[in-house]
Chains A and B, each alone.
Chain A
């Protein structure tokens, strides 16, 4: 019943998230029909010298196109936003709504409340990832191109698995900061500001530099062609361990809060 309650509380956010990830995937695949003819024209124009390196690959390889626009970029951002949103709630929200006294009158420990919510948020985030994969595949068929099934699924799984740290961060911030209206913007500013400050440096840095090793966005995207050998295992392990540590911190903080 705790799972059922957590689902009832998060289902609206989940459904909006589902619409958002499907929307962004379908939009970017369908817009390829408009972009590719323009890019071909640009590639054939001998006067234009400032072609980005990805343009040729983007025209000829749908897998690279999907990676460049979705897995490394928009889908990842939308997924992270909703992963944080889905991790918000629980006793911290109930404290604001006044229902925490009822919840805490039930024979359920505070850590069990937290873990149940995180379990549901993780499952929902996983479904968002799978829905994104399905949307990419269906949208690519709709434009009469094929995106390799294994690559799409592998990239979506990588986003979800490496991104588990954002779920845990959401749990910590929503426990620490009273009121979700405050917690969400603070979380997004704290997570987003390093990217805003360092984005140029990150973009120009070589893949082997330290910045890519600590850049969670880079880990979530992986390389354009994902294999067992090219999967960022170390980054994945660090993200998962960090998520476990953050969840313990959230449980510790939540245990000391007075309701």
Chain B
């Protein structure tokens, strides 16, 4: 029978429409559902710590509040949300880059401070019994690899492999054709694999490709 959905049962799109109509509770629900994911995306995209990423997250959700009337309910909400988040991150990175260029004299402490220091990775690989420690190291290496990815590969890779969005949605978010998205994803994987090989995590072999 007909029954009004409760706030918790409502889809993201329905919640957003309710929020447009003045239901602030639905905004809390959206924040609860997507806040963590967006925060993770920002952290990996920008490569900042949680506290600084939260500032960006706050700015992203402020944009969601301000632009709520621009949201079209026929559009997937996650697409709209991640578009805002991605664009905000790219803007931030551009500004950062601009600032870095403006102060070329200043030492690039950013990577030195935040990047995980890979200490003798091959050595550590030899200690197989310390699997947990290795796992942590690989994780750190992976994060490093992601940070090193090119910007246009990084967002596609993160949206697909971390946030789990479908490729079509990613194409919409990045405003690129689906084939481009696929090739960017492939390049992202190739770069990561190369990095792992470089660090001795994957075996370096003579890869004979059939032509």
Q: Do A and B come from one complex?
A: no
- Residues of chain A touching chain B, judged by Cβ–Cβ distance below 8 Å, are none
